Structure formats: structure tokens, C-alpha cells
Amino acid sequence: MAKKVKDARVREGEQILIRFPPGSDLRSRLDAEAKENGRRTTAEVIHRLEQSFKKPTSAEDVREIAYRIEGRVQDLLRALNSLKS
């Protein structure tokens, strides 16, 4: 009989159960964003929660936010142009 291999990831820390509303696409959107950002879904949720509590306190923070927004706008423009083609 094959021996079970333990999962190498350690599951420590507090847990929370999240229920998404019926018909919500939040889970699939989180999964897609996590994949795009090279993170696991849990890491994506943690990152987004941490960012939601962070307030811009310096010009550098504001520049970083503006840079991220600019990147998203560029992504949207590329997607729009590909739809036109």
C-alpha cells in the first residue's frame, strides 16, 4: 500500500470561513487575480485586506497607486483594442 505524503505547506494561523453570496463571481475573480499576481488565493485575499487598511501617507505611496492604476488602464485599453480587431 502506498504511503501518503504529507503536504509540505504548514497551515498555521487563525482561520476564517467566508461564504460568498449565491451567484457571486467573487471567488473566481479572486482565483484569477491570484494566478495573475503569482499568489495562492489565500495570499491574494491577505494582500488585498492589508492594502485596504493601508492609507497613502507619502508621495511615494500615491505614486505607487497611480502606477498600478495606469497599468490597469493600459490592460483595459489593450483588451478593448483586441475586441475592435
Residue 20 contacts residue 27 (beta carbons within 8 Å)? yes
pLDDT at 9: 62
Please report the pLDDT score of residue 49 as a whole number.
93
Encode pLDDT of 31-79 as tens digits: 999 999 999 999 999 999 998 888 767 888 888 889 989 999 999 999 9
What per-residue confidence (pLDDT) applies to 28?
95
CA gap 79, 84 in Å, rounded: 9
| Residue of 68, 60, 64 lying closest to 33 (CA atoms) | 68
Confidence band, pLDDT 50/70/90 cuts, at residue 2? low
Q: Residue 69 has what pLDDT?
A: 93
pTM over 0.85: no
> For residue 42, which of 31, 58, 51 has the smallest C-alpha distance?
31
